[in-house]
Amino acid sequence: MEEQLNSVFASYKGSKNELIPVLQDVQEEIGYLPEEAMRAVSRFVKVPESKVFGVATFYARFHLKPRGEHIVRLCCGTACHVRGAMKVADKVKDVLKVEVGETTEDKKFTYEEVACIGACGLAPVMTIDDKTFGKLDPDRTKSIIETFVEEPEGGQV
Ligand code: FES
Protein backbone atom coordinates (compact mmCIF):
# COMPACT_ATOMS: atom_id res chain seq x y z
CA MET A 1 0.00 0.00 0.00
CA GLU A 2 2.90 2.33 0.76
CA GLU A 3 3.96 2.34 -2.86
CA GLN A 4 0.43 3.15 -4.03
CA LEU A 5 0.19 6.01 -1.55
CA ASN A 6 3.55 7.41 -2.54
CA SER A 7 2.60 7.38 -6.19
CA VAL A 8 -0.53 9.42 -5.36
CA PHE A 9 1.32 11.81 -3.03
CA ALA A 10 3.95 12.45 -5.70
CA SER A 11 1.46 14.59 -7.65
CA TYR A 12 0.60 16.83 -4.68
CA LYS A 13 2.34 19.34 -2.48
CA GLY A 14 0.90 18.08 0.79
CA SER A 15 -1.22 21.06 1.71
CA LYS A 16 -4.51 21.21 3.62
CA ASN A 17 -6.70 22.18 0.70
CA GLU A 18 -5.64 19.04 -1.20
CA LEU A 19 -7.43 16.75 1.24
CA ILE A 20 -10.40 15.84 -0.96
CA PRO A 21 -8.53 15.34 -4.25
CA VAL A 22 -5.87 13.28 -2.44
CA LEU A 23 -8.55 11.08 -0.85
CA GLN A 24 -10.18 10.67 -4.26
CA ASP A 25 -6.94 9.61 -5.90
CA VAL A 26 -6.05 7.25 -3.07
CA GLN A 27 -9.47 5.63 -3.39
CA GLU A 28 -9.02 5.29 -7.12
CA GLU A 29 -5.63 3.70 -6.62
CA ILE A 30 -6.55 1.28 -3.80
CA GLY A 31 -10.25 0.84 -4.53
CA TYR A 32 -11.39 2.14 -1.13
CA LEU A 33 -10.02 4.08 1.85
CA PRO A 34 -8.49 1.76 4.45
CA GLU A 35 -7.80 3.31 7.87
CA GLU A 36 -4.09 3.06 7.36
CA ALA A 37 -4.34 5.04 4.11
CA MET A 38 -6.41 7.76 5.78
CA ARG A 39 -3.78 8.07 8.51
CA ALA A 40 -1.09 8.49 5.87
CA VAL A 41 -3.21 11.13 4.10
CA SER A 42 -3.66 12.94 7.41
CA ARG A 43 0.11 13.14 7.87
CA PHE A 44 0.68 14.12 4.25
CA VAL A 45 -1.79 17.01 4.04
CA LYS A 46 -1.24 17.97 7.69
CA VAL A 47 -4.90 17.68 8.62
CA PRO A 48 -5.90 15.93 11.88
CA GLU A 49 -6.97 12.29 11.50
CA SER A 50 -10.41 13.08 12.95
CA LYS A 51 -11.02 15.60 10.16
CA VAL A 52 -9.85 13.17 7.46
CA PHE A 53 -12.12 10.42 8.84
CA GLY A 54 -14.96 12.94 9.11
CA VAL A 55 -14.65 13.98 5.47
CA ALA A 56 -14.34 10.37 4.29
CA THR A 57 -17.50 9.34 6.13
CA PHE A 58 -19.48 12.44 5.17
CA TYR A 59 -19.20 12.15 1.39
CA ALA A 60 -21.06 9.24 -0.20
CA ARG A 61 -18.41 9.00 -2.92
CA PHE A 62 -15.84 7.75 -0.41
CA HIS A 63 -15.85 4.10 0.58
CA LEU A 64 -14.32 2.85 3.78
CA LYS A 65 -14.67 -0.83 2.96
CA PRO A 66 -13.48 -2.84 -0.05
CA ARG A 67 -16.01 -2.86 -2.85
CA GLY A 68 -17.08 -5.59 -5.20
CA GLU A 69 -16.10 -6.02 -8.81
CA HIS A 70 -19.71 -5.10 -9.75
CA ILE A 71 -21.78 -2.40 -8.06
CA VAL A 72 -25.49 -3.21 -7.92
CA ARG A 73 -27.60 -0.12 -7.22
CA LEU A 74 -31.31 -0.47 -6.71
CA CYS A 75 -33.45 2.63 -6.93
CA CYS A 76 -35.72 3.07 -3.92
CA GLY A 77 -37.23 6.38 -5.05
CA THR A 78 -41.00 6.88 -4.91
CA ALA A 79 -41.90 5.58 -8.38
CA CYS A 80 -39.75 2.48 -7.95
CA HIS A 81 -41.00 1.94 -4.41
CA VAL A 82 -44.62 2.07 -5.58
CA ARG A 83 -43.86 -0.43 -8.33
CA GLY A 84 -42.33 -3.06 -6.11
CA ALA A 85 -38.70 -2.08 -5.53
CA MET A 86 -38.83 -3.62 -2.05
CA LYS A 87 -39.64 -7.06 -3.46
CA VAL A 88 -36.74 -6.64 -5.88
CA ALA A 89 -34.53 -5.57 -2.96
CA ASP A 90 -35.44 -8.73 -1.05
CA LYS A 91 -34.52 -10.81 -4.07
CA VAL A 92 -31.17 -9.07 -4.56
CA LYS A 93 -30.28 -9.56 -0.88
CA ASP A 94 -31.38 -13.17 -1.07
CA VAL A 95 -29.39 -13.94 -4.24
CA LEU A 96 -26.24 -12.11 -3.11
CA LYS A 97 -26.62 -12.93 0.60
CA VAL A 98 -25.80 -9.38 1.65
CA GLU A 99 -27.52 -6.43 3.27
CA VAL A 100 -27.47 -2.87 1.92
CA GLY A 101 -23.95 -1.47 1.71
CA GLU A 102 -22.30 -4.89 1.95
CA THR A 103 -20.03 -6.75 -0.44
CA THR A 104 -20.35 -10.45 -1.20
CA GLU A 105 -17.76 -12.75 0.33
CA ASP A 106 -16.19 -13.45 -3.05
CA LYS A 107 -15.87 -9.65 -3.58
CA LYS A 108 -17.86 -9.90 -6.77
CA PHE A 109 -20.81 -7.62 -5.88
CA THR A 110 -21.51 -4.63 -3.66
CA TYR A 111 -25.18 -3.85 -3.09
CA GLU A 112 -26.42 -0.29 -2.61
CA GLU A 113 -29.83 1.35 -2.49
CA VAL A 114 -30.11 4.82 -3.98
CA ALA A 115 -32.63 7.61 -4.48
CA CYS A 116 -34.27 8.30 -7.87
CA ILE A 117 -31.88 7.77 -10.74
CA GLY A 118 -34.11 9.58 -13.23
CA ALA A 119 -35.53 6.57 -15.06
CA CYS A 120 -38.92 6.50 -13.32
CA GLY A 121 -40.69 5.43 -16.53
CA LEU A 122 -38.84 2.13 -16.23
CA ALA A 123 -39.59 1.60 -12.52
CA PRO A 124 -38.52 -0.43 -10.70
CA VAL A 125 -34.96 0.15 -11.86
CA MET A 126 -31.48 -1.00 -10.90
CA THR A 127 -28.07 -0.45 -12.36
CA ILE A 128 -25.17 -2.84 -12.40
CA ASP A 129 -21.98 -0.89 -13.12
CA ASP A 130 -22.94 1.30 -16.09
CA LYS A 131 -25.88 -0.79 -17.29
CA THR A 132 -29.50 0.04 -16.45
CA PHE A 133 -32.24 -2.55 -16.03
CA GLY A 134 -35.88 -1.52 -15.79
CA LYS A 135 -39.35 -2.97 -15.26
CA LEU A 136 -37.86 -5.44 -12.84
CA ASP A 137 -39.58 -8.22 -11.01
CA PRO A 138 -37.88 -10.56 -8.55
CA ASP A 139 -37.36 -13.41 -11.04
CA ARG A 140 -35.95 -11.20 -13.76
CA THR A 141 -33.67 -9.54 -11.24
CA LYS A 142 -32.26 -12.91 -10.23
CA SER A 143 -31.60 -13.82 -13.88
CA ILE A 144 -29.87 -10.50 -14.54
CA ILE A 145 -27.57 -10.88 -11.55
CA GLU A 146 -26.74 -14.42 -12.61
CA THR A 147 -25.51 -13.20 -15.98
CA PHE A 148 -22.89 -11.14 -14.13
CA VAL A 149 -21.83 -14.17 -12.12
CA GLU A 150 -21.17 -16.09 -15.31
CA GLU A 151 -19.87 -13.31 -17.56
CA PRO A 152 -17.79 -10.37 -16.35
CA GLU A 153 -19.74 -8.03 -18.65
CA GLY A 154 -23.14 -9.63 -17.87
CA GLY A 155 -26.45 -8.05 -18.73
CA GLN A 156 -27.58 -10.31 -21.58
CA VAL A 157 -31.06 -11.40 -20.53
S1 FES B 1 -37.90 6.61 -8.59
FE2 FES B 1 -36.65 5.06 -9.39
S3 FES B 1 -35.90 5.94 -11.20
FE4 FES B 1 -37.08 7.50 -10.33
- Class in CATH terms, 70-150: alpha beta
For residues 59-86, average pLDDT: 94
pLDDT in tens, 11-66: 999 999 999 999 999 999 998 999 999 999 999 999 999 999 999 999 988 999 88
For residues 97-115, average pLDDT: 93
pLDDT in tens, 4-25: 999 999 999 999 999 999 999 9
Compute the distance from residue 53 Cα to the ligand 1 centre, in Å.
31
Question: Which one of 83, 114, 125 would you pick to mutate in the ligand 1 pocket, going by the greatest count of ligand atoms within 8 A of its CB?
Answer: 125
Q: Mean pLDDT check: name the lowest of 6-10, 66-70, 91-95.
A: 66-70
Q: What percent of the chain stands above pLDDT 70?
A: 96
* Residue 28 burial (CB count, 10 A): 10
Please check the confidence at residue 131 and state whether its pLDDT lies above 90.
yes
Please check the confidence at residue 153 and state whether its pLDDT lies above 90.
no
Compute the distance from residue 83 Cα to the ligand 1 centre, in Å.
10
Instruction: Please provide the average confidence, as pLDDT, over all residues in the chain.
Output: 94
- Class in CATH terms, 2-58: mainly alpha
Pocket of ligand 1 (CB under 6 A): 75, 77-80, 116-120, 123, 125
List b or e across 135-151, with b for residues whose CB sees 16 or more CB atoms inside 10 angstroms: ebeeeebeebbeebeee
Return the pLDDT at 156: 59
The CB-based long-range contact list for 137-142 (8 Å cut-off, 24+ gap) reads 137/84, 137/87, 137/88, 138/87, 138/88, 138/90, 138/91, 139/91, 141/88, 141/91, 141/92, 141/95, 142/91, 142/95
State the sign of the Cα–Cα–Cα–Cα dihedral 74, 80, 86, 91: negative
Instruction: List where CATH 1.10.10 sits in the chain.
Output: 2-58
In which element (H, E) is residue 57 found?
A: helix 49-58
